[in-house]
A = this chain, B = another copy of it.
Amino acid sequence: MDGADGPSVALQSLAGNGEGVFEAAELGSRISKERFDQELPQLRVDLINAHFDLREADFPVLIVVVGDDRPGVNDLVNRLNEWMDARFIRTHVFGELAEQERQRPRNWRYWRALPGRGQLAIYTGNFALDTIGERLRGVIDDSEFERRLDHMASFEQTLRDHGVLVLKFWIHISKKEFARRIKKSLSKAGDGGRLDEMDHLVFGAYDDGRILSERILRRTDSSHAPWYIVESVDARYRDLTVAKAIRSALLARLTQPLVPEINRVASSIPPPEHTILDNVDLTARLGESEYKTQRRQLQVRLRHLTLRARAEGVPSVVVLEGWDAAGKGGVIRRLTRAMDVQDYQIVPVAAPTDEELAHHYLWRFWRDLPGAGHMLIFDRSWYGRVLVERVEGLVPETAWRRAYTEINDFEDQIVRHGIPFCKFWLHIDRDEQLRRFQDRENTPYKKYKITDEDYRNSERWDDYRSAVNEMVQRTSTEFAPWTLVPANDKRFARVEVLRTICDILTKRLRQR
């Protein structure tokens, strides 16, 4: 087919399609050499120029190229690198999971590789296909398959919300064409043509694979980031079609910046009079000698647990949040004193670097996720998004409201990967905070010196209180509940955190 209506018609957006999305694309589409040679020069000039402009733009571009035609995917990605400025394309060919990737939630490697603003990345190789393969081989069951699709869909949702331009291409050949190529490769002497063992496997499972592929395409298709199924009988048609789709998407986005989101939130609801924080019993106390006994016992227990975790390769994540002067530093010291330095890493969350600012706010936390046997202790965390950034008005309301879902999804993936996870809010009242500020003014430790800013933050106590309340309500999930720790008494708080972490580690290590 080399019609005047051109290749754009054959781009199959799944939205609204019935059964058989692949059949609809099996049209034997071709483009003549003359037409290819005629269109290519202008296309390349446009692509190079759009790619050049992108480098100054405020959004990243992610192009996904996968499909059943594996040699075709490979050739196409090579072509895209040739037609755009290869120096500014990061092509990630995801293969079998490497050691450090297996130790972390599945999406870790996709988060790590994300482009920043003005950058362009191509994801290819096993992206999405590994999930099909594992289902076909029975490594995962149907419910795990669906869960993976959920995580893929929410990953893409997050990217779109962050303004990433996502373009997804599925490079397709019909079973008949596939059979023809298999036959040809078998009849060829020597290297078996361009098909390898994996292609033979893919062909052998073509029908089952097709059903699973359709499910992936349907589940992760959306109006913002539709899948394009591109037929690959003819390389010229395939390459030109994809390149033109990229050109039009890039130009559209470069010339028509996203309209700022309308504030979708109903006018703010007045905070409830009685909140979840009121239920925290701030009178909880622990006597000096009882504290010493319990703390020592718990530290011995924690030490043994972390040694076991190291031996078994179980990583863990601890999040510490709380009011200024609530005693996070003291809690962390009691934790780490029980452990070997090789078994933990503390991550103090400070202002982001320029590289971090160019990415989604969760990017740096994904990047930090621990490998086998390590405990990662976050001193403040991703919750800054719905606390300080919300209260100080650093991000629009839509952004921090969205964060609740994004955070729940992030923690879900951590927990599902079998990583013990706990998060603490160290709670004190305002009188106690002011008392501690005054104490600190007389301390010899510079790091505890109080500035005017601390007192100013304290004056926003009620705003922070509302934010904490909503955070706890919206992110206390079955898989990752908040532990609210009464911290007016430091001894009580330290023992409480130690005990909770020990319990969660014990539960996880017993399961193995």
Contact = CB atoms under 8 A, between A and B. Distances in A.
Interface of A: 45, 48-49, 52-53, 74, 77-78, 81-82, 85-88, 90-91, 93, 98-100, 122, 124-125, 329, 332-333, 336-337, 340-342, 345-346, 348, 353-355, 379, 444-447
Contact of A446 (B49, B90, B333, B345): B49
A86 B343 CA distance: 13
Contacts of A49: 444-447
Contacts of A74: 340-341
A354 B345 CA distance: 23
B445 A336 contact: no
Contact of A82 (B53, B88, B333): B333
A91 B346 CA distance: 10
18 contacts: A48-B446, A49-B446, A77-B341, A78-B337, A78-B340, A81-B341, A86-B332, A86-B346, A87-B329, A87-B346, A87-B348, A90-B345, A91-B342, A93-B341, A125-B342, A353-B353, A353-B355, A355-B355
A341 B121 CA distance: 12
Chain B CB within 10 A, most for which of A48, A85, A87, A353: A87
Contacts of A124: 341
Nearest to A93: B342
A483 to B, nearest CB: 21
A82 B447 contact: no
Contacts of A122: 341
Contacts of A53: 446
Given A49-B445, A52-B447, A125-B342, 12 more contacts: A49-B444, A52-B445, A74-B340, A78-B340, A78-B341, A82-B337, A87-B379, A91-B341, A93-B342, A98-B99, A122-B341, A124-B341
A445 B379 CA distance: 49
Nearest to A42: B444
Q: Which 3 pairs from chain A and chain B are nearest by CB?
A: A93-B342, A87-B348, A91-B341
Contacts of A348: 87-88
A52 B446 contact: yes
B446 A332 contact: no
Contacts of A379: 87
Contacts of A45: 444-445
Contacts of A346: 86-87
Contacts of A90: 345
A354 B74 CA distance: 35
Contacts of A345: 90-91
Contacts of A447: 48-49, 52, 85
A87 B447 CA distance: 12
Nearest to A48: B445
Contacts of A332: 86-87
Contacts of A100: 100
Contacts of A444: 45, 49
A336 B329 CA distance: 52
A81 B334 CA distance: 12
Contacts of A85: 329, 447
Contacts of A52: 445-447
A405 to B, nearest CB: 29
Contacts of A333: 82, 86
Nearest to A50: B446
A439 to B, nearest CB: 15
A74 B98 CA distance: 30
A244 to B, nearest CB: 18
Nearest to A354: B354
Nearest to A355: B353
A238 to B, nearest CB: 16
Contacts of A86: 332-333, 336, 346
Contacts of A87: 329, 332, 346, 348, 379
A93 B344 CA distance: 11
A445 B85 CA distance: 11
A329 B51 CA distance: 15
A328 to B, nearest CB: 9
A86 B345 CA distance: 9
A108 to B, nearest CB: 15
A242 to B, nearest CB: 14
A345 B89 CA distance: 9
A381 to B, nearest CB: 13
Nearest to A125: B342
A361 B53 CA distance: 28
A336 B88 contact: no
A444 B46 CA distance: 9
A447 B85 CA distance: 9
A144 to B, nearest CB: 27
